Amino acid sequence: MTPPALGLRANRRQFSLLILVNAFVGAMVGLERSILPLIAEHDFGLASKSAALSFVLTFGLVKALTNVVAGRLGDRFGRKRTLVAGWLIGLPVPILVMVAPTWSWIIAANVLLGINQGLTWSMTIVMKIDLAGPRRRGLAMGLNEFAGYLAVALSALATGVIASRFGLRPEPFYLGIAFAALGLALSLLFVRDTMSHARHEEALSATHDAPNAAGVHVSMRELATRASWSDRALANASQVGLVNNLNDGVAWGLFPLFFAAAGLSLSEIAWLAFIYPATWGAGQLVTGALSDRVGRKWLIAGGMCVQGAALIAMVLVRDFALWLLTGALLGIGTAMVYPTLLAVIGDVAHPSWRGSAVGLYRLWRDSGYVAGALLAGVLADTYGMGAAITSVGCLTLASGLLAAVRMPETLGATQVRAMPTH
């Protein structure tokens, strides 16, 4: 039997289909970004910022844990089955938010959303890495994240505009029913599994670099140890990803409240909720491919510094146009980091444990939502929202500087690395 071809051109149809699927994945998150914090205050009377941010904490915790399960499930049972399962779990989310009589229903909806995102987004990443092969991983991740986060932005804008005309619930969430149904239909009917591509790449790596065959049998403990601290590339990717999503959680949970307190209208808040993920998404078309040419390390370190500066500047300005500018800078900095970190994982992960490596990285990265919700909630309740955002900006700058000092360059290194077995 002829082995499957690796590369974007050879797999352009499936790759394009997966880009579309990931757009619907991102749109599911975008439903909440401009209006759910306002629903917490308006519909449920949550004055405490920690309480209002509880949905971000719940989402992040569940998504982080699901990422690990998703990677292992994808490696063991196949990518497509895991993707379809994620969509089935996501179907009730918009309905729960629409009809929720208490805040606990919103929390339950975000538990399901976290599982949905952990399974579906992880699988679209792993499947694209499988299809792309070792040479164009940065571009592949840039295209994947572009689709997902541009959809986040458009969905946030659409729900904000709808809410400004019809109210916070239920009308904005009708879109979510359509997103979930279309994502499930495409995944079930048209997406093909990519496990054969991963196995073919594994066979090629064993042929060209025989010692790497030892990487086939890897314990989760060993992989977790290296992803957490002992492997400089994997561990630094984990810490940068955590801090990156820590500040994204603050943007999701605090920005709408911060801008509302400054007197902006719901329509203006919707545009500010749009500009950050829109520049983040669009920028990844450039940065993912750029990392294949100039390297991973300095895009990551520089991007974190740009994000930190943008967050600090956002507190200092008091003008809608300047907030648009700082939001765009935050998006540009995130675009420099997001697909590049995934490309780092692709650079160092053996095809046989690639899904698990992506899952562990995303466990650390999405734990940032939990840390962000806790840190920002306590700081905002104690010192004010401006102090919370500034503190997170300083932490983001420190993360970028740490990556500049400690993170190795992985582009051009051995594409797959053996790991000791246990």
Query: How big is the CA angle at 9 (ends 8 and 12), to the nearest 5 degrees?
Result: 75
Structure confidence at residue 176 (pLDDT): 97
Q: Is 329 exposed, middle or buried (0-12, 13-18, 19+ CB in 10 A)?
A: buried
For residues 276 and 314, the answer to whether their CB atoms sit within 8 Å is: no
Separation between Cα atoms, residue 252 and residue 369, nearest integer Å:
9
Asked if residue 31 lies in contact with residue 20, where contact means CB atoms within 8 angstroms, the answer is no
Q: How far apart are CA 153 and CA 334, in angstroms?
A: 14
Say how many residues make up the chain: 422
Q: What is the pLDDT of residue 36?
A: 93
- Give start and end residues of each alpha helix (H) in 295-319: 297-316
Q: Where are the beta strands (DSSP E) in 200-288?
A: none
Token pair recorded at residue 112: 């399901």
For residue 396, CA distances in Å to 25, 81, 106, 248 come to 26, 36, 29, 11
Spell out, as residue ranges, where the chain has pLDDT lower than 70: 1, 205-218, 413-422
- Main-chain dihedrals φ then ψ at residue 11, nearest 5 degrees: -115, 30
Q: What domains, with CATH codes, occur in the chain?
A: 12-406 (1.20.1250.20)
Tracing tokens 């049972």 back to the chain, one arrives at: 77
Q: What angle do CA 263, 268, 274 make, to 5 degrees?
A: 135
Residue among 35, 48, 14 nearest 131 (CA): 14
Burial (CB count <10 Å: 0-12, 13-18, 19+), residue 216 = middle
**Which position has the token pair 């594994």?**
202
Task: Pull the structure tokens for residue 383.
Answer: 């010192």
**Cα(21)–Cα(191) distance, integer angstroms:** 9
Pair 304, 241: CB distance under 8 Å: no
- Euclidean distance between CA atoms 79 and 32, whole angstroms: 27
User: Is residue 40 a contact partner of residue 52, using CB atoms and an 8 Å limit?
Assistant: yes
407 near 233, Cβ under 8 Å?
A: yes
d(CA 202, CA 305): 36
Q: How far apart are CA 140 and CA 311, in angstroms?
A: 28
